[in-house]
Amino acid sequence: MKTILITGASSGIGRATAEVFLDAGWAVGALARRWDKLQDLAAGHDAVLPLQCDVTDPKAVDAAFDIFMERFGRMDVLFNNAGLFGQSGTIDTVPIDSWLQVMHTNINGMFLCARAAFARMRHQVPQGGRIINNGSLSAYVPREGSVSYTMSKHAVTGLTRTLSLDGRAFDIACGQIDIGNAMTDLVEDLNTRRVAEGLQPLPMMDVAEAANSVLHMAQMPPSANVQFMTVMATKMPYIGRG
């Protein structure tokens, strides 16, 4: 049985991805802060290992990854997914606390989880594995008022490119999925704010399409890698914006 650890697995893209991988017969380590949500996901699924963890806590991350390895013996894939959008606004209006929270989760958390996965994939037998980072269209074409999120997702792309090079010697592949407007609570909240401001709601796609795309990336053979995948709502103003 193939194994995957998913961060931010209690809701949104993370939870949808966990459900898709379970349906495909994978063993899933579901990592998040909200224990009640993880318990709900794990109910009735022997192949789910709930892992309560704050991805910004180095010791907690290592402990959670150790528990995963003890349970399943191997880590085939990490879906490095946990992230925050933060408070919208121009740079002079974004509270410093909000900025730091986004940086701690979207950059420090991504780094710590990738680091933990890389170390275990490097030393397991047979050696190797795959790390899939959740990036964003914001790493290419940002939305107004998204300075914290956009800067953090540029950093994720840097992480992906570096891991792709550093992992070659150890048969560790790294790719990035850039998702546009999957129907999650985060995007629904953004739409609610847009409507309140008199703006048009954003075009959406089913979150399962994003999850299925992660599964496609994870199922590639070791000799192949999806380096960057963009999956988005068809009518998003991403193409031809300007």
Q: How far apart are CA 7 and CA 13, in angstroms?
A: 10
Which is nearest to 61 in space by CA: 78, 36, 46, 76?
78
Please check whether residue 224 is in contact with residue 206, taking contact to mean a CB–CB distance below 8 angstroms.
Answer: no
* Residue found under tokens 């891991």: 163
Q: C-alpha 62: how far from its chain's center? A: 18
140 is catalytic: no
Catalytic residue among 12, 149, 151, 152: 149
Active site residues: 149
